Structure 1
């Protein structure tokens, strides 16, 4: 009996445990379903919000597009052009019925005449616009304008006559109607011509940048007339479209001034060299003397001594080129003077000792002190140096540079080769380069 009870108790406990496990599993499945439902709801909510945001952005972009389109359409130029066309259309609609009624009242066969007269005025006005677009001669445009005036004037006279003879109007009203019809007939072609004139001027004027560029071109041609004329010759000599004016102007500037730097000339180069030399001289330290020192028989100071401090060379490699190659003159380089060696100890001389007179014709003893120059050395005392003519210099330069290339023909090299001045070296350089260029052109021909 006890075993049966134990078994039933164990079965009931197992059933309770199984029910508990099943309940826990059911609760877990319910939680998962609720969680999935919440996540799905959250995704749907975020999707709806994203869709609303995209729709809002799309509406804002569409409004911005419409606003930009309205801004473009309502600019002053568009309003003027479209407004002029609207007025021209209204003018045509106001003047054409009066002409049709006038000619139809005379005879139905004259009905095409108003269309021909009014159409001739507008076609000739369009011809003026076409002539402006194609850049035709001025007489063509003025001839077309005369045809426009003739056709529009004839149509205006017809409308005036028709307006003044309208039945049932007083004299003043009839005259006002005739003047109004004539004015509206002439107003259309006049407004169209003014519109075309304004459009042509706007196309020629362009933007502010175009105005600035044209002003710059006029100023450059006025200030550099010869160079601009030479550049025009280069452009006209080259095939069409192969040489721009800017390249031609740069080449003409280099030919006229010898430098490829815009605005620089040989005169400005010389001024720059003089200014550089003056600045270097002003920055050099100098020895300041007192008032009583260095006087030669009065208050005139002696020559200022050269500062013995060594001169620091610049690291600029452009100084390796000589001034003849630069086609300009420069001051001679300053060579530092070495400090004199220590003088020997002074010799004590007894002033009481009698000095015997030196006999006439005797040679004075050689003094250890150097003699100071008392003035300019006369020409007869100078060593004579042969003077070579220009032809002799040119012959020596030709012989010395026979194996040189055109690039090696520099004024400094020629000056060292024939030992001449920088000015003559520059002349020899240009002569030899011209001869080499002439020989090259003949060989190429």
Structure 2
């Protein structure tokens, strides 16, 4: 009995557990179905929103295209061109029936005549447009314009006569009708010709670069007429298309002025050379200012001169402005650095007046009669002579090496060496060339040593 009860309880517990498992599985399936339904609804809602957004974007695009099309169609140029064509069509429709009625009233066989007259005017107007397009000569265009004016004028006279003879109208009304028909007959060709003229001008001057180019060409031909004519001759002499005007103009400029720099002439080169010389003189004046000018009264007196004893170093102490200004010449003096033998004696300088004597200047006479004693001239005593010993070429070169040891190649000039070692410009140039040659030889030796070291390392 107890075993059966235990089995019954176990079966009921198993059934309850199975029901619980089934209920949990059913609940899970329900949740999955609800989740799938929610996801499907969300996808549909998103698709609807995307569709509405695409439709809205498409509508906005269409509106923008229509707006841009209206803006492009309503530009001043399009309005002018299309409006002119509309007015020309209205003019033709207003003038042609009157001509047809006028000629048909005379004879039905004259019906093609108004069509020929009106058509001749419009064909000649189209011929003007074609001539502008093909860039034909001006006389062709004006001939076509005269034909247009003749045909339109004849048609206007016919319409004016027809308007004056309209039945059932008063005299002022007939006069107004004739004038109106004549005006509308002339209006169409005139408006068409003005439209073609404006279109041609706008096509020619539409590009700012093209306008600037034409202005430049006109200005160049006006300011350099001779050179432009010579360039035209070169272009016409060469085969077609092989020589452009710019190359011919540059060649003509070089022939006329002697220089290949555009705009430069011999006179401008001369002005540039004078300006460069003035600038160099001003810079030298700042570096080495000139001695102060003496008063006028002292021009007639001979300045005291103490002639030094001729020594081998005389060329070192005689430094003049001319020597200083020519110390940096690119060509060295061929003379060796060894000083030349000094002359035995220097003659006394003659007394020369620095100012040309005239009858109006009386200051010179007063200064000449002065009782101020003059210094004796002639040989200078041994005590007044320079005691500086003579330097040999090797000594000068040694001093120059020491003074220019830290100088760069750009600073190594004859003027700088002359001021550093206090020697003459000629010897300074020789020292400059010698030092430059030594530096070049040292650089070449270091370069060869570096190449040899690199070759040894590569072999190792």
TM-score, structure 2 as length reference: 0.58
Where in structure 2 are the equivalents of 1:45-444 lying within 5 Å?
A: 45-250=45-250, 262-263=262-263, 266-267=269-270, 270=273, 273-274=276-277, 277=280, 281=284, 332=326, 334=328, 369=386
Deviations 1:239-273 (A, max 9, x none): 43344434444555566667665545644753674
Distance 1:18 1:140, change over 3 A: same
CA distance in 2, matches of 1:288, 1:26: 119
Shift of 1:187: 1.2
Deviations 1:23-69 (A, max 9, x none): 22222222222222222222222232223223222222222222222
Deviations 1:201-242 (A, max 9, x none): 223333333222222222233344455445444544444334
Shift of 1:167: 1.4
CA distance in 1, matches of 2:195, 2:143: 18
- After superposing the two structures, state which structure 1 stretch, 73-82 or 42-51, moved more: 42-51
Deviations 1:330-361 (A, max 9, x none): x75649xxxxxxxxxxxxxxxxxxxxxxxxxx
Secondary structure of the structure 1 residue equivalent to 2:122: helix
Higher helix share: 2
CA distance in 1, matches of 2:281, 2:67: 66
Shift of 1:88: 0.9
Secondary structure of the structure 2 residue equivalent to 1:369: coil
Shift of 1:169: 0.8
CA distance in 1, matches of 2:75, 2:247: 39
| Superposed CA RMSD | 3.8
Deviations 1:3-39 (A, max 9, x none): 2221221222222222222222222222222222222
CA distance in 2, matches of 1:16, 1:254: 118
CA distance in 2, matches of 1:220, 1:121: 42
- After superposing the two structures, state which structure 1 stretch, 162-171 or 213-222, moved more: 213-222
Distance 1:19 1:281, change over 3 A: farther
CA distance in 1, matches of 2:70, 2:213: 32
Deviations 1:357-410 (A, max 9, x none): xxxxx9976976179xxxxxxxxxxxxxxxxxxxxxxxxxxxxxxxxxxxxxxx
| Uncovered stretches (5+) of structure 1, i.e. residues with no partner | 291-295, 301-330, 336-361, 372-445
| Uncovered stretches (5+) of structure 2, i.e. residues with no partner | 293-297, 304-324, 330-378, 389-460
1:21 maps to: 21
CA distance in 2, matches of 1:221, 1:227: 8
Deviations 1:79-124 (A, max 9, x none): 1111111111101101111111112222221111111111111111
Distance 1:39 1:196, change over 3 A: same
CA distance in 2, matches of 1:56, 1:239: 65
CA distance in 2, matches of 1:47, 1:286: 93
Secondary structure of the structure 1 residue equivalent to 2:136: coil
2:31 maps to: 31
CA distance in 2, matches of 1:216, 1:259: 21
CA distance in 1, matches of 2:105, 2:25: 105
Shift of 1:173: 0.9
Which protein has greater RCO, CA pairs closer than 8 Å, 6+ apart? Answer: 2
Shift of 1:199: 2.0
Distance 1:258 1:363, change over 3 A: closer
TM-score, structure 1 as length reference: 0.60
Distance 1:185 1:50, change over 3 A: same
Secondary structure of the structure 1 residue equivalent to 2:241: coil
